[in-house]
Structure 1
Amino acid sequence: MLGQFRLEFGSEAVELCRNGQRMMAFVGLRGRVSRTVLAGTLWPEVSEEHARGSLRTTLWKLPRGEPPLIRCCGDDLVITATVRVDVHTLAETALSLIQECDPPLNGGPTLAMLSGEDLLPGWDEDWVLLERERLRQLRLHALDALAETLTRQGRPALALEAAWASVRSEPLRESAHRAAVSAHLAEGNLAEAVRHYHAFRRLLHEELGVEPSPAFARMLRLRAGTDDARITRG
């Protein structure tokens, strides 16, 4: 679901109708959902009876197989355990980075996953927009954490790539700029670190009329070992 919706069996694409895609996407994201919630979410503008009828029709049109794509458990619908959902893989990787449970050994592939495509671009239903924003925030935090981890591992070039991926997604987010400055300092590039700080400072002033946090300037002073004037001069 990152990028256009795709359902694959092995190396072959499985075609679904639009409602089938919507149902697979919703149940795939939730894992388990009641029929009432699913019908009311996918068909909110019709009566409950009509929505449940549309749900039954959509379920009937799903490709047949063992195990089925979606299992019926009483009034709940459950995505089968054999269906792998890329969103869950992304979320697990991001949370692992944020919690520092498993420092990445392959910075490049991890970075590619975190800076990849959005959830279901072009879909504008409320439940998609909410989940897309959740994933966006999760990715941003994970990119910041990845940049800091790579800096600690002595891999500042990849750390900068992670920091810039976060900056491109949200240019006014201070934590991403702090990660970039940390990577510059790890390479001993004080001039680059100070230049980046001042560029961010100007951006904040132009867009929001505010200054970077005192903690940012203090971090730069402490890690660079330079004086206040060098940092705070505009």
Structure 2
Amino acid sequence: MTNGARLEILGPFEFTYGGRRFAVPAGAQRLLALLAVHYDGIHRRAAAEQLWPDCTPCRAAANLRSALCQSRKIGPNAVVDSDGQRLALSPCITVDHREAWQSARRLTESGDQTDAVQVLPDRLVADLDRPLLVGWDDEWLILERERWDQMRLYALEALAQNLQTGGRHLSALQASLAASAIDPFRETPHRIAVEVHLAEGNVACAVKRYQDYRRLLQQELKVAPSPRLTRLVRDLTRT
């Protein structure tokens, strides 16, 4: 939406209006980012406590007022709606995180995956591959990053499985690799990658993927892959 306001918090923070990037002061950045993940808004006091946890309540409240003042100078329209003690991001602003979250939810809900994989699966993989607010170390982001990582992990696995079932091997492999990058120890994306290689007849690639994963588990956790994964390559490694 090039003619409107857009907030991007997947990857680095960026605010644009009409396709033009706007500089946003640090305090306003943090406020907008917090509101972007609280779709229904958040109470002023809770916002101040989350954004400035090391400050006294009075200092945190003052910082919040300053951030609100800064936000009023961004772009031609208001970016924060204030309803009494509740703050919310203006509905005129599109947010990449919300769009990607909605796509991820559709992917993980039964009955909607077929439609989802018909539309630009590589774009979906790229959207779901992006972490939340790279380089930020705010405490409130710990939980939000975990929520986002789990949502996109399950969505990427669902996408990879459906693409594999539909014979779209390259896109399926890309989705599975993106999922394994989020959680290298999780078996599901590795299993899908092995299945993709086998479906393409790339036996050596399938065996290597399995052996690399088995080695990782043994070195880091002292455990072995599941019998289900092992059965996929068991006969291939026999001489």
TM-score, scaled to structure 1: 0.86
- For residue 104 of structure 1, the aligned residue among 105, 108, 117 is 117
Aligned to 2:128: 114
Amino acid aligned to 1:147: A
Amino acid aligned to 1:27: L
Aligned to 1:210: 223
- For residue 16 of structure 1, the aligned residue among 18, 24, 43 is 24
In structure 1, what is the Cα distance between the partners aligned to 2:211 and 2:155?
25
Determine helix, strand or coil for the equivalent of 2:194. Answer: helix
Instruction: Confirm or deny: 8 A CA contact 1:103 1:149 kept in the other structure.
Output: no
- Mapping for residues 50-89 of structure 1, pairs under 5 Å: 50-64=59-73, 68-89=78-99
Amino acid aligned to 1:89: E
Determine helix, strand or coil for the equivalent of 1:51. Answer: helix
Aligned to 2:212: 199
In structure 1, what is the Cα distance between the partners aligned to 2:180 and 2:54?
39
Instruction: Confirm or deny: 8 A CA contact 2:27 2:70 kept in the other structure.
Output: no
Aligned to 2:6: none
Percent of counterpart pairs with the same letter? 37
The alpha carbon displacement at 1:186 in A equals 2.4
Q: Structure 1 188/15 Cα, relative in aligned 2: closer, same or farther at 3 Å?
A: same
Determine helix, strand or coil for the equivalent of 1:7. Answer: strand
In structure 1, what is the Cα distance between the partners aligned to 2:174 and 2:88?
38
**Structure 1: segments with no counterpart, 5+ residues:** 222-227
Determine helix, strand or coil for the equivalent of 1:84. Answer: strand
CA deviations 1:14-52 (Å, max 9, x no partner) are 222111111111111113000110111222233323322
In structure 2, what is the Cα distance between the partners aligned to 1:182 and 1:23?
44
TM-score, scaled to structure 2: 0.84
CA RMSD of aligned residues (A): 2.2
Higher relative contact order, chain-length normalized (CA < 8 Å, sep 6+): 2
- For residue 124 of structure 1, the aligned residue among 119, 123, 137 is 137
Instruction: Confirm or deny: 8 A CA contact 1:67 1:80 kept in the other structure.
Output: no
Amino acid aligned to 2:52: W
CA deviations 1:157-184 (Å, max 9, x no partner) are 2111211222233322211111101212
Amino acid aligned to 1:186: A
Q: Structure 1 66/203 Cα, relative in aligned 2: closer, same or farther at 3 Å?
A: closer
Determine helix, strand or coil for the equivalent of 2:82. Answer: strand
Number of residue-to-residue matches in the alignment: 225
The alpha carbon displacement at 1:191 in A equals 4.4
In structure 2, what is the Cα distance between the partners aligned to 1:208 and 1:232?
23
CA deviations 1:92-149 (Å, max 9, x no partner) are 1112112241331222111111223x21112111111221222122222222111111
- Mapping for residues 27-46 of structure 1, pairs under 5 Å: 27-31=35-39, 32-46=41-55
In structure 1, what is the Cα distance between the partners aligned to 2:197 and 2:141?
37
Q: Structure 1 188/72 Cα, relative in aligned 2: closer, same or farther at 3 Å?
A: same
In structure 1, what is the Cα distance between the partners aligned to 2:138 and 2:212?
37
In structure 2, what is the Cα distance between the partners aligned to 1:205 and 1:104?
35
Amino acid aligned to 1:174: E
